[in-house]
Amino acid sequence: MNEIKIECVLQAFEDLEHLSKDIKGLMNQAIEAREKAYAPYSDFKVGAALLLDNGEVITGSNQENASYPSGLCAERTAIYYAGAKFPESKVLKMAITAASNKVKTIVPIPPCGACRQAIAEYEVKQKQAIEIYFMGESGKVIKSNSLENLLPLVFNKSLL
Ligand code: THU
């Protein structure tokens, strides 16, 4: 038996003010998108902003539904729209933020497993890492240099 150790290296920034100007701008666009979330059931609003290699910024927010599983997370709303509108473009960076109306989210909120799987598809498709930044409503911002870093042992087309 061999033990396999998998390492995940992240960078932590004290808050929004410690980010570079362009990432702070992208995160502010995610915050703006978050305010537009439709989350009457969870009261948990999430916003995502994607910077594409053509300079476009695509934003998305979670969209809930009375039939709960029919709703969609912010990250997938944004990345599917980017894929639909600019199929030839690469996603360079992604900023994510979440805020609850019930409790103050000061810990960084990472993308859920389903969103990681969806983002992984585009990272494989474009053969280039996507930088991911995530935070709560305020407080620390975590950076991952790629999606793969957040989803070890990813299932992708190379396994089909
Ligand atoms: N949500 C997201 O938008 N992104 C995630 O990565 C995690 C969860 C949304 C889905 C649902 O509308 C609400 O947050 C509570 O789970």
**What integer best gives the mean pLDDT of the chain?**
97
Listed in sequence order, the residues at least 6 apart from 21 whose beta carbon sits closer than 8 Å to its beta carbon are: none
For the chain, give every domain's residue range.
Answer: 10-151
pLDDT band at 13; cut points 50, 70, 90: very high
**Phi/psi of residue 72, nearest 5 degrees:** -140, 145
Which residues are catalytic, by number? 75
Is the distance from the beta carbon of residue 76 to the nearest atom of ligand 1 less than 6 Å? no
> Where would I find the H helices in 36-143?
74-85, 113-126
Condensed to tens digits (0 to 9), the pLDDT of residues 58-99 reads 999 999 999 999 999 999 999 999 999 999 999 999 999 999
C-beta separation of 78 from 59 below 8 A: yes
Rounded distance, CA 25 to CA 46, Å? 17
**Phi/psi of residue 77, nearest 5 degrees:** -55, -45
Percent of the chain as helix, strand, coil, to the nearest 5: 35, 25, 40
Q: Please choose from 36, 68, 70, 73 the residue to mutate so as to test ligand 1's pocket, defined by most ligand atoms within 8 A of CB.
A: 73
pLDDT band at 148; cut points 50, 70, 90: very high
Q: Which CATH architecture has domain 10-151?
A: 3-Layer(aba) Sandwich (3.40)
Distance 107 CA to ligand 1 centre (A): 15
Q: Please choose from 45, 62, 65 the residue to mutate so as to test ligand 1's pocket, defined by most ligand atoms within 8 A of CB.
A: 62
Is the distance from the beta carbon of residue 75 to the nearest atom of ligand 1 less than 6 Å? yes
Is the distance from the beta carbon of residue 42 to the nearest atom of ligand 1 less than 6 Å? yes
Q: Ligand 1, atom 14: nearest CA belongs to which residue?
A: 44
Shortest-distance atom of ligand 1 to CA 110: 6
